[in-house]
């Protein structure tokens, strides 16, 4: 019995702990963007890429700085290699040979080496390339931030769209239920035909189905937004901006009149960075025709013995040291270097062409995004006006239907027109928000 009593207590404790770890967030759109630019998973990893590239830059720099290495070598000559010498060296007969073994059974060497690169053209290019490498990831981080900002705006708008759709559908449902109830009462009194009731039931069923779909869609939209923000999908999230507020704040035709500076676009900067990489690759191939010079200092001890006594006080260690220079002069590579240099030149020309292509495509994208944004504002005004007309038509048809002056089919057509107008209006609001976000992405605002 005690064990059975403990089970609900354990379950309660685990549930309470889970509730304690659950967080709650209240975000306006700007707050959501700010949070995502710090906590989004892609943003975090993009920041780590920058840190890794900084370490890579230092790795490249360190290659030209002093390098110190040490080591210990031990050899156990299980069977010493033998040679033959004339036997007469040891008092033997001329023409005969005697086997001799040189060395000891045990050898040990302790050594250290200091090396320093004095000149290498490829090292100079590598230092320049490390800066370009870092700049690439800084641009990539900027691109990630821009994309995440747009993703947050889209996801935030989708949640608001689903919420507004649900609110409108709930209102439509309530109106339909009241009209259906009144129509049933009128039918019972024999004043209208049954098909009027059936037509309203069909419409109500359709509205219910759409309402349930939007509720499920809202759950998915919230989860998508949470993932984009970098918070747990089980955390509570409340949006403080409304769809109407965001739409009004994004109605700015003057914004679309701004001049487009392609050099501010991150995709252009990345294409420019790629061209610089190809230019450095060309420099690298050219420097491979230059000599390289390095210096080294070696110091160490050797010890020999037929017994393993290297760590005893009586063991004799023989020291040595030397200083050296290493000069490498490329002379002839059967035109291999020339071929690699020409390949690098071709790659650089390709990068220049790609940069020009990127510039033209970005100008086209700006023109398209600008046109889409201006059109979205026009569509918003049209949808708003059409919705107002659809609402008036629906109200008139409802009155006529209630008074028996029009059929259920006429009323149903007016309802469908109203519902379509409502969805078009909501979609036009989201389009204004999203199209401006797309334009901001192009101009890197």
Would you say 289 and 331 are in contact if contact means Cβ atoms under 8 Å apart?
no
pTM for the complete prediction? 0.85
- Region 388-414: what's the mean pLDDT? 85
- Region 106-130: what's the mean pLDDT? 95
Give the pLDDT of residue 103. 83
Give the pLDDT of residue 134. 96
In this structure, what token pair is assigned to residue 247? 């739409």
pLDDT 10s digits, 239-250 = 999 999 999 999
Give the pLDDT of residue 131. 95
In this structure, what token pair is assigned to residue 333? 């590579």
Write down the residue that tokens 């967080």 correspond to.
23
In this structure, what token pair is assigned to residue 346? 């071709």
pLDDT higher than 90, residue 216: yes
> How many residues are present in the chain?
445
- Region 196-214: what's the mean pLDDT? 91
- Region 66-86: what's the mean pLDDT? 90
Structural domains in the chain?
24-78+107-443 (1.20.1600.10)
**Residue ranges with strand state E in 248-399:** 292-305, 318-328
pLDDT higher than 80, residue 204: yes
pLDDT higher than 80, residue 375: yes
pLDDT higher than 50, residue 224: yes
Would you say 438 and 150 are in contact if contact means Cβ atoms under 8 Å apart?
yes
Give the pLDDT of residue 223. 97
Nearest to 285 by CA among 240, 330, 232: 330
pLDDT higher than 70, residue 191: no
443's CB contacts (< 8 A; 6+ apart) are 258, 260, 261, 264, 265, 366
Half-sphere exposure of 306 (CA within 13 A, CB side): 5
Give the pLDDT of residue 309. 87
pLDDT higher than 50, residue 2: no
Give the pLDDT of residue 93. 77
Nearest to 408 by CA among 202, 185, 174, 209: 202
Give the pLDDT of residue 402. 79
Half-sphere exposure of 309 (CA within 13 A, CB side): 9
Give the pLDDT of residue 391. 92
Three-state secondary structure along 86-127?
EHHHHCCCCCCEEEEECCCCEEEEEEEEEEEEEECHHHHHHH
Proportion of the chain in helix, strand, coil states, percent, rounded to 5: 65, 15, 20
In this structure, what token pair is assigned to residue 182? 């009144």
- The mean-pLDDT minimum among 40-54, 222-236, 309-323 falls in 309-323
Give the pLDDT of residue 196. 83
- Distance (Å, whole) CA 142 – CA 269: 10
- Distance (Å, whole) CA 250 – CA 436: 7
In this structure, what token pair is assigned to residue 258? 């701004």
In the chain, the percentage of residues whose pLDDT exceeds 90 is 72
pLDDT 10s digits, 289-332 = 999 999 999 999 999 988 888 889 889 999 999 999 999 999 98
Decide: helix, strand or coil at residue 375.
Answer: helix
360's CB contacts (< 8 A; 6+ apart) are none
DSSP state of 242: -
Average model confidence (pLDDT) across the chain = 91
- Distance (Å, whole) CA 231 – CA 247: 26
Please tell me which residue, 248 or 97, carries the higher pLDDT value. 248
Write down the residue that tokens 């009462």 correspond to.
185
- The mean-pLDDT minimum among 132-136, 139-143, 177-181, 380-384 falls in 177-181
pLDDT higher than 70, residue 382: yes
Give the pLDDT of residue 345. 97
End-to-end CA, the chain: 67
């Amino acid at each position: 019995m005690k064990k059975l009593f403990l089970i609900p207590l354990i379950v309660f404790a685990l549930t309470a702990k889970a509730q304690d770890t659950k967080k709650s967030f209240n975000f306006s759109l700007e707050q959501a963007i700010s949070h995502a630019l710090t906590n989004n998973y892609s943003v975090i990893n993009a920041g780590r890429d920058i840190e890794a590239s900084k370490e890579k830059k230092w790795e490249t720099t360190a290659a030209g700085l002093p390098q110190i290495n040490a080591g210990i070598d031990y050899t156990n000559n299980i069977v010493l290699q033998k040679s033959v010498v004339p036997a007469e060296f040891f008092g033997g007969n001329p023409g005969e040979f005697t086997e001799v073994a040189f060395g000891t059974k045990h050898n040990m060497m302790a050594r250290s080496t200091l090396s320093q690169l004095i000149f290498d053209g490829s090292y100079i290019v590598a230092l320049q390339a490390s800066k370009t490498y870092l700049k690439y990831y800084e641009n990539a981080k900027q691109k990630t931030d821009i994309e995440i900002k747009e993703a947050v705006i889209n996801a935030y708008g989708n949640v608001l769209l689903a919420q507004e759709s649900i609110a409108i559908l709930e209102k439509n449902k309530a109106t339909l239920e009241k009209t259906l109830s009144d129509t049933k009462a009128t039918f019972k009194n024999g004043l209208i035909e049954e098909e009027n009731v059936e037509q309203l039931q069909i419409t109500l069923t359709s509205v219910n189905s759409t309402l349930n779909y939007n509720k499920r869609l809202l759950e998915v939209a919230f989860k998508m937004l949470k993932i984009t923000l970098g918070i747990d999908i089980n955390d509570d999230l409340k949006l403080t901006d409304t769809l109407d507020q965001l739409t009004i704040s994004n109605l700015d035709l003057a914004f679309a009149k701004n001049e487009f500076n392609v050099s501010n676009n991150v995709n252009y900067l990345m294409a420019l960075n790629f061209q610089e990489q190809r230019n450095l690759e060309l420099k690298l191939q050219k420097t491979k025709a230059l000599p390289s010079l390095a210096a080294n200092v070696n110091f160490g001890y050797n010890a020999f013995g037929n017994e393993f006594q290297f760590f005893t006080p009586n063991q004799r260690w023989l020291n040595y040291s030397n200083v050296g220079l290493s000069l490498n002069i490329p002379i002839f590579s059967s035109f291999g270097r020339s071929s690699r240099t020409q390949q690098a030149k071709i790659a650089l020309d390709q990068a220049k062409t790609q940069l020009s292509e990127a510039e033209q495509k970005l100008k086209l994208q700006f023109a398209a995004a600008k046109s889409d944004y201006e059109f979205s504002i026009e569509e918003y005004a049209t949808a708003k006006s059409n919705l107002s007309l659809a609402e008036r038509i629906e109200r008139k048809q409802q009155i006529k239907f209630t008074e028996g002056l029009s059929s259920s089919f006429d009323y149903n057509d007016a309802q469908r027109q109203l519902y379509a107008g409502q969805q078009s209006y909501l979609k036009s609001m989201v389009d204004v928000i999203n199209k401006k976000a797309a334009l901001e992405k192009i101009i890197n605002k």
